Amino acid sequence: MRPFMRHFSSYMMFWALLFLPISLFAQETEPLAVPPFLASPAPALDSTVTVSLLTCSPGEETYELYGHTALRVTSSKDPAGTVYNYGAFDFRAPHFVWRFILGECDYLLWAEPLEMFAVQYVVRGSWVREQVLNLTPEEANRLSDSLRTESLPENRVYRYNIFRNNCTTRARDIIEKCINGRIIYPMRAPRNTFRTILDEYTEGHPWSREGNDLLLGADVDTLINERDEMFAPLYLMNYVDSAFIDAGRSHYRDLVRESRILVQADASRQQAAAAALPSFPVSPRLLGWILFAAGLCLALFEWKRGRICWPVDAVLLTLQGLAGILLCFMALFSVHPAVASNWQVWVLNPIPLFFVYSVVRSDLRRQPSIYHAFAAVVLVAFLVLYCIIPQDFSELILPLALLLLSRAVVHLLVYRK
């Protein structure tokens, strides 16, 4: 047995010494290159591919007020081109409205022919401007391929955010990702907030602006930089006009090669669309002061009479509490940006709903209620701090606060009398 083991050990040692140089050599050298005739050729670039940024002017409907942004890809094989639209959504998605309220709404990238995209803007009379990007063939093909990949059913859905991740910012981001180098945008001193830009788009639509101002808190009232301003389509269009590409080694080129109008504006269609929309006869500011004046007259009448009109209290407290539920729900549960920093909950909050019954009962018995003293203190504190709170308030909030304060004061005066 021992001779056999000795021979076997010698045999294994021989083969180990034989292959050791080979193994060491293999570790120290690079893998053999694939012969040229076996390598698959890289796909040829299509030098006719062009990519354009499309900007659409605002319409009259609430969801049209802010304009729109899309990307257009053309080539010699498809001269009309395909439009990639990040602003599509599916109303049939499960719990769409509920998810939209919570800020968990999903949008998607939709690819469609230019004719289908443009017809909606022709119908409403809006203009569509095209900015042809000054890209190399490699960049244009890369951007075209990226858009095609993102538009596939398994990739096209994204979580929408009005300021950080919308149809405009996504178009900008994918362009930047596919550029060899970086895009330099013009710089300017901060002068806008998110709210001031939203106000520009809602000019002439006071109730749409009022909705924004009621729901959005102090976070939209801080100054923003150039990049933040690009959430708005017209702002991105203007920035792109003056931007250039820094390709390194002192190689610069304009980002836009040429601009043209694809769809002309039609004032008559715009006027017809505006006329077809229902409109409220008074503005939020005027309505608020009318309500305050009416409440003040009622309070004077009640003070002289020495008796409170309890149905007015019941209606006001109910409406105040319901509005407060909306604001508090958005602040606590919604992930929409800037709804959690809303100081208007001092005036509009759910607390009055818990006191409707006791206040009405006290009115019927002609007895004071502790709620009115509490409400007076809170409302006076809000009015004292009104000018220094870092938030642009709704036009309704000041007259409403004064109206509610007048109700609290008249109760205290009448029942003390």
Cα 60 to Cα 205: distance, rounded to the nearest angstrom: 9
pTM of the model: 0.84
pLDDT band at 21 (very low <50, low <70, confident <90, very high): very low
Mean predicted lDDT score pLDDT of the chain = 87
Place of tokens 């006290």: 362
- Exposed e or buried b per residue across 195-224, where buried means at least 16 C-beta atoms within 10 angstroms of its C-beta: bebbeebbeebbebbbebbbbbbbbbbeeb
Cα 24 to Cα 305: distance, rounded to the nearest angstrom: 108
% the chain with pLDDT above 90: 72
Higher-confidence residue of 309 and 99: namely: 309
Sheet holding 157-159, edge to edge: 157-159, 106-113, 82-88, 68-74, 50-56, 128-133, 256-263
What are the pLDDT digits (tens) for 201-218? 999 899 999 999 999 999
Check residue 147 and give its pLDDT: 97
pLDDT band at 165 (very low <50, low <70, confident <90, very high): very high
Which helix (H) or strand (E) is 297 found in, with range?
helix 284-305
Place of tokens 């909306």: 326
The token pair at 95 is: 């719990």
Give residue limits of the domains in the chain. Answer: 50-190+225-274, 284-416
For the segment 281-302, the average pLDDT, to the nearest whole number, is 95
Q: Check the CA dihedral 330-287-387-205 and report its sign.
A: positive
Whether the CB-CB separation of 207 and 60 falls below 8 Å is answered with no
**What is the number of alpha carbons within 13 Å of residue 156 lying toward its C-beta?**
16
Q: At what angle do helices 284-305 and 206-215 cross, to 10 degrees?
A: 70
The pair phi, psi for residue 195, each rounded to 5°, is: -70, -40
The pair phi, psi for residue 262, each rounded to 5°, is: -85, -40
Residue 81: name the closest of 106, 46, 108 by CA: 46
Check residue 18 and give its pLDDT: 32
Q: Which of 135-144, 160-169, 278-287 has the lowest mean pLDDT?
A: 278-287
Cα 399 to Cα 6: distance, rounded to the nearest angstrom: 106
Could you tell me the maximum CA-CA distance found in the chain, to the nearest angstrom? 128
Check residue 417 and give its pLDDT: 62
Cα 383 to Cα 378: distance, rounded to the nearest angstrom: 9
Q: How far is CA 194 from CA 190, 229, 337, 383, in A?
A: 11, 7, 11, 25
Whether the CB-CB separation of 207 and 284 falls below 8 Å is answered with yes
What are the pLDDT digits (tens) for 57-69? 999 888 899 999 9
The pair phi, psi for residue 54, each rounded to 5°, is: -105, 130
Q: Is 275 helix (H, G, I), strand (E, B) or coil?
A: helix
Q: What is the DSSP string of 365-409?
A: HT---HHHHHHHHHHHHHHHHTTTSSS---TTHHHHHHHHHHHHH
Check residue 20 and give its pLDDT: 31
